[in-house]
Amino acid sequence: MGSFNLNKIMMAVLLTALGMIGIGGLTEAIFDREGLEKNAYPIEVETATAAAPAEAAVVEQGPSLAELLATASAEKGQKIFKKCKACHSADNGGKNLVGPNLWNIVGRAKGSHAGYGYSDAMKAKGGTWTYEDLFTFLKKPKDFVPGTKMGFAGLKKPADRAALLAYLRTFSDAPVALPTADAPAAD
């Protein structure tokens, strides 16, 4: 009888302790969630900042842009462009949104779209948007144009950027010719 009561008491102590840990854990989980929800922003900002150096090296040795573009699918690019649509319209005569309208973007002078307030960095960049420049810019906008206000981390995969370019070039009545192979094939 006595030991039965002791067991009961010990059990009660144990359960209480467990309960407190449980509640503590739960509270933490709830606060963590709230923290996340507050920070969550629907647009991908700076999520893909740190590309591993090893990966970057591999990318450099990959197929040339001309090769990638030769097989790039504009249809796949259209899907990827959904990420851009939060900030860009690509319609002919479409409005400037958070970012400038992208009609005729290939071959257009950088930072030149009428009625859009570009960052000083973009205005100072100079030159036109060639396929090569767009390809580099879209990998990591803040690397290509330090100080740009385009809040988009970038697309790491070369194939994704090539597909996107295949779609971007359709935003024109006279799409700019694709680059021809800049490096002859090894064989």
Pick the closer one to ligand HEC by CB: 22 or 147. Answer: 147
Q: Out of 65, 68, 72, 138, name the contact with ligand HEC by CB under 6 A.
A: 138
152 binds ligand HEC (CB under 6 A): yes
Contact (CB, 8 A) for 125 and 136: no
148 binds ligand HEC (CB under 6 A): yes
Alpha carbon 164 to chain centroid, angstroms: 12
Phi, psi angle pair for 108, to nearest 5°: -80, 150
Pick the closer one to ligand HEC by CB: 16 or 112. Answer: 112
Contact (CB, 8 A) for 66 and 166: no
Residue 29 host element (H or E): helix 2-39
109 forms beta bridges with 128
Site for ligand HEC in 2-41 (CB under 6 A): none
Q: Tell me which residue of 129, 125, 155 sits closest to 44, measured CA to CA.
A: 155
183 forms beta bridges with none
User: How long is the chain?
Assistant: 187
* Interface mask toward ligand HEC for 76-115; x: CB under 6 A: -------xx-xxx---------xxx----x----xx-x--
121 forms beta bridges with none
124 binds ligand HEC (CB under 6 A): no
Q: Please state the closest distance from residue 178 (CB atom) to ligand HEC, in A.
A: 17
158 binds ligand HEC (CB under 6 A): no
Q: Helices marked H in 72-107 — which ranges?
A: 74-80, 82-85
118 binds ligand HEC (CB under 6 A): yes
Pick the closer one to ligand HEC by CB: 66 or 149. Answer: 149
* Binding residues vs ligand HEC (CB under 6 A): 43, 83-84, 86-88, 98-100, 105, 110-111, 113, 118-119, 121-122, 129, 134, 138, 148-152, 155, 164
